[in-house]
Structure 1
Amino acid sequence: MHLHLRDEARESERRTPITPADAASFIEAGWQFTVESSAKRIFSDSEYRDAGCNIVAPGSWTSAEGDTVILGLKELPETPPALANRMIHFAHIYKNQFGWREELERFKNGGGTLYDIEFLVDANGRRSVAFGYWAGWMGAALALWRHLARAQGHDGPYSSLQSFESRMQVQQEIEKLAGSAATLPRCIVVGAKGRSGSGAIDALKIAGCEITEWDKEETVDLDRRTLLAHDLLVNCVLMTGPGLVLATPDDLGSAGANITTISDVSCDPLSEYNPLPVYRAPTSWERPFIEIGRNGSGNPVELTAIDNLPSLIPREASEDFSSQFAPVLLRFDHGEEWQAAKQVFAEKMKQAFG
C-alpha cells in the first residue's frame, strides 16, 4: 500500500491525520509513506523524514500514480478537475452543501473514489474516528476564558485568534484569570456524555467551575428556566432531527435568565434542526465572539460558534485523532468502516448523476 499525505489547502489548517510516530508504524508494516512538505503542519518535515517517510513537494499528489491512496484532512483545492485516485479526507459534501455535485463530478471525470472520514462508521453507525473531544475542550475553554476575562475588564480571546502550539497556552490563561476571579461562572454542558461533551467538561474543570451535565435524559422534557439560570452554556448536542430548542432570542432576555456566554460547539446554524436559533452564521478566528442579545439582568450575551475548533490546538488534536485513525487505516479498504464509506460515496454518485 502506498499512502501519500498531502499538504492542506487551508492556510489555517495545521493538523494532520497521521503523526510521524504512527507513520513509522505503517512503514514498519511494509507500507510506503510519502509526505508532502508543509510549512504550516504542526509536525515538521524532518520528523516525518526521521520516521522513514519520503518527503516530496506540496501539491505533488495531483501527479501520483493511480494506485496511490491520497490522504488528507480537509477539502481539496479546486483543481484538478478530474480525480483518479482513492482519496481519504473530510469532504463536507454529503449533506448537499454548496458545490457538492461539482465536487463529485471531479471523481466522475477521473474515476476515483472518495472515502469520507466522517462516514467511517461501524455496524451500529458509530463513527470510528473524530475530533470531538478537542472540539468540546477548545469550545468550552474559549468561552470560559472570554467569560472570566470580560468579568475582569479584559478582552481575552475576543479577536484575531491563531492556533496554539499546545493546550497549555490556553490552560495557563484560564488558570491565571480563575485565580483572580471574584466568582466563577455556573456552567452547563448539554450533550455531556458524548466526545465533545467530555472535552468541554474537562476544560471547565480547569477553573474549578460548578458544572451541570445534561444529556438526552435531561432534554426530553427540557427545563429551560433552569438551563438559563446558569452563567455559561456549552452546547455539544449532535442533532439528527427536529425537536430540541435550547434557547430563542426571547428566552435569553426572560426573567431569571443569567446566561452571558454561550459556546455552540455543535455549530450548525444553517440547519433547520439548530437547537440554538439565536445566531445565523458561524463565528470566525478573526471574530470568535458576537453579541446576540441581553439576558434577564440586561447584561450582554456573547456567543462563540467556530466550525473548526480542533484546528486551534493542532498538536493535541492530531495526536488524539491519529491514535484513533491508525488502526482503522490499517484495515483499508476491506474493513467495515471503509465499506460503509464506499457505499455512501456510491449512493451520492447515483443521486448526482443517476
Structure 2
Amino acid sequence: MHLHLRDEARESEQRTPITPSAAEKLIRDGWRISVEASEKRAFSDQEYQNSGCAIVEKGSWTTAEPGTVILGLKELPAEPPTLTNRMIHFAHIYKDQHGWREEMERFRGGGGVLYDIEFLVDRNGRRAAAFGYWAGWMGAALALWRHLARTKGRDAPQTPLRSFGGREAVTAEIRQLVEGGTSLPRCIVIGAKGRSGTGACDALKAAGCPVTEWDKEETSNLDRAALLSHDLLVNCVLMTGPGLLLLDHSDLARPNTRITTISDVSCDPLSDYNPLPVYNAPTTWERPFIEIGHNGGGHAIELTAIDNLPSLVPLEASEDFSLQFLPVLQSFDDGEEWCAAKAVFEEKMHLVTAGA
C-alpha cells in the first residue's frame, strides 16, 4: 500500500489526519508513505522523515503513480480537472452543496474514487473518526471570547486569527475577561449529545456559563421562544436532510430575541439543509465574525461560522483525530467503514451519470 499525504491547499489548514507516530506504525505494517513537504503542517517534515516517511514535493499528488492512495483533510484545489486515484478527505459535496456535481465529474472523468471521511461510518451509522470535539470546543470558546469582549467594549479576539499553541492559550484569554467582572451569557448548545456538542458544552461550562443542552428530543418539537431567550447560541447539529429550522431572518428582531452571538459549528451555509439560513458563506480567519442583524433589544447579532475550527488548535486536534483514524486506516479498503463510504460515492456517481 502506497499512501501519499498531500499538503493542504488552504493556507490556514495546519491539521493532519495522521501524525508521525501513526505513520510509523503503518510503515511497520508494510505501508509505504510519502509526505508532501509543508511549512504549515502541525508536525514538521523532519518528524515524518524520522518516522520512515519519504518527503516529496508539495503538489506532487497530482502526478502520483496509479494505485497510490491520496490522503488529505479538506477539499481539493480546482486542478487537475480529472482525478484518477483513490482519494481520502472531507469533500463536503454530498449534501447538495453548490458545485458538488462538478466535483463528481472530476472523478468520473479520471476514474478515481472518493472515500469521504465524513461518511466512514460503522454499521450503526457512527462516524469512525471526526474532529467534532475540537470543532465544538473551539467554536464555543471563540464565540464566548467575542461575546465577553464586546460587553467590555473591546475588539477581540485580534484578527486575522492565528493558530493557538493549545486550548490553554484560548482559555487564558477567556479567564482574563471573566475575572474582570464581566457577566456570563446564558448559552444554548444544539446537538449537545454529539462530539461537537460535547466539546462546546465543555468549553462553556469551564468558563462557568449556564448552558442549556438540546438534542433530538428538543429539536423534534422546537420551542423557538425558549431558543431565542438565550444570549449565545452554538449549533452543532449534523444535518443529513431537510427538516430543521432553528431561526431565520424573521426571528432576529422579534421582541423576545436576546441572542447577540451565534456560533454555527456545523457550518453548512451552501446546503439546502442549513438550519440557520441567516448567512450565505462561511466566515474566515481574516473576518471570523459578521453582523447579521439586530435583536429585540436593538443589539447587533454577530455570527461566526469557520469551517476549519480545529485548525486553530491543530496539534491537539490532529493527535486526537489520528488516534481515532489509525485503526480505520489499517482496514483500508475492505473494512465496513470504507465499504460504507464507497457506497455513498457510487450512489452519487450514479446520479451524475444518469444526469439526475
Counterpart contact for 1:235–1:264, Cα < 8 Å: yes
Counterpart contact for 1:158–1:288, Cα < 8 Å: no
Counterpart contact for 1:34–1:53, Cα < 8 Å: yes
Number of the residue aligned with 1:45: 45
Number of the residue aligned with 1:344: 344
SS at match of 2:11: coil
Separation of aligned partners in 1, 2:251 and 2:79: 46
Asked if residue 228 in structure 1 is aligned to residue 224 in structure 2, the reply is no
Number of the residue aligned with 2:196: 196
Q: Which runs of 5+ in 2 are unaligned?
A: none
Give the C-alpha shift of residue 134 in structure 1. 1.1
SS at match of 1:123: coil
Give the C-alpha shift of residue 154 in structure 1. 0.9
Give the C-alpha shift of residue 174 in structure 1. 0.8
Separation of aligned partners in 2, 1:243 and 1:343: 24
Task: Please give the residue correspondences for 1:18-97 in structure 2 after superposition, counting only pairs within 5 Å.
Answer: 18-97=18-97
Separation of aligned partners in 2, 1:98 and 1:189: 27
Relative to the length of structure 1, the TM-score reads: 0.94
SS at match of 2:263: strand
Number of the residue aligned with 2:331: 331
SS at match of 2:284: coil
The size of the alignment, in residue pairs, is: 354
SS at match of 1:318: helix
Give the C-alpha shift of residue 344 in structure 1. 2.0
Give the C-alpha shift of residue 352 in structure 1. 1.6
Separation of aligned partners in 1, 2:8 and 2:102: 20
Number of the residue aligned with 2:266: 266
Number of the residue aligned with 2:317: 317
Number of the residue aligned with 1:112: 112
| CA displacement, residues 60-114 of structure 1 (integer Å, 9 cap, x when unaligned) | 2223221221111122223333333222112223334344333333333333222
Give the C-alpha shift of residue 137 in structure 1. 0.8
Separation of aligned partners in 2, 1:347 and 1:250: 37
Q: Bigger shift: 153-162 or 210-219?
A: 153-162
| CA displacement, residues 37-65 of structure 1 (integer Å, 9 cap, x when unaligned) | 11111110011111111111112222322
Give the C-alpha shift of residue 124 in structure 1. 2.4
Asked if residue 135 in structure 1 is aligned to residue 135 in structure 2, the reply is yes
Task: Please give the residue correspondences for 1:125-164 in structure 2 after superposition, counting only pairs within 5 Å.
Answer: 125-157=125-157, 159-164=159-164
Counterpart contact for 1:158–1:287, Cα < 8 Å: no
Tell me which amino acid in the other structure corresponds to 1:129: A
Q: Which runs of 5+ in 1 are unaligned?
A: none
Counterpart contact for 2:143–2:304, Cα < 8 Å: yes
Tell me which amino acid in the other structure corresponds to 1:16: T
Separation of aligned partners in 1, 2:310 and 2:128: 17
Give the C-alpha shift of residue 18 in structure 1. 0.3
4+ aligned runs moved over 6 Å, structure 1: none
Tell me which amino acid in the other structure corresponds to 2:288: P
Separation of aligned partners in 2, 1:240 and 1:84: 28
| CA displacement, residues 128-152 of structure 1 (integer Å, 9 cap, x when unaligned) | 1111111111110111000111111
SS at match of 1:24: helix
Q: Percent identity at matched positions?
A: 71
Number of the residue aligned with 1:304: 304
Number of the residue aligned with 1:240: 240
Separation of aligned partners in 1, 2:321 and 2:46: 21
Counterpart contact for 1:36–1:59, Cα < 8 Å: yes
Separation of aligned partners in 1, 2:297 and 2:102: 49
Alpha-carbon distance change, 270 to 34 in structure 1, aligned in 2, over 3 angstroms: closer
Task: Please give the residue correspondences for 1:164-175 in structure 2 after superposition, counting only pairs within 5 Å.
Answer: 164-175=164-175
Number of the residue aligned with 1:281: 281
Alpha-carbon distance change, 245 to 104 in structure 1, aligned in 2, over 3 angstroms: closer
Separation of aligned partners in 2, 1:278 and 1:78: 28
Counterpart contact for 2:237–2:266, Cα < 8 Å: yes
Counterpart contact for 1:174–1:206, Cα < 8 Å: no
Give the C-alpha shift of residue 324 in structure 1. 0.9
Asked if residue 181 in structure 1 is aligned to residue 175 in structure 2, the reply is no
Q: Bigger shift: 260-269 or 137-146?
A: 260-269
Counterpart contact for 2:98–2:271, Cα < 8 Å: no
Separation of aligned partners in 2, 1:300 and 1:99: 32
Alpha-carbon distance change, 63 to 252 in structure 1, aligned in 2, over 3 angstroms: closer
Alpha-carbon distance change, 232 to 86 in structure 1, aligned in 2, over 3 angstroms: same
SS at match of 1:234: strand
Give the C-alpha shift of residue 202 in structure 1. 1.0
Give the C-alpha shift of residue 272 in structure 1. 3.4
| CA displacement, residues 277-318 of structure 1 (integer Å, 9 cap, x when unaligned) | 333332222211122222222222211122222222211221
Separation of aligned partners in 2, 1:269 and 1:111: 30
Counterpart contact for 1:289–1:303, Cα < 8 Å: yes
Counterpart contact for 2:95–2:240, Cα < 8 Å: no
Counterpart contact for 1:148–1:181, Cα < 8 Å: no
Alpha-carbon distance change, 225 to 311 in structure 1, aligned in 2, over 3 angstroms: same
Q: Bigger shift: 186-195 or 86-95?
A: 86-95
SS at match of 1:42: coil
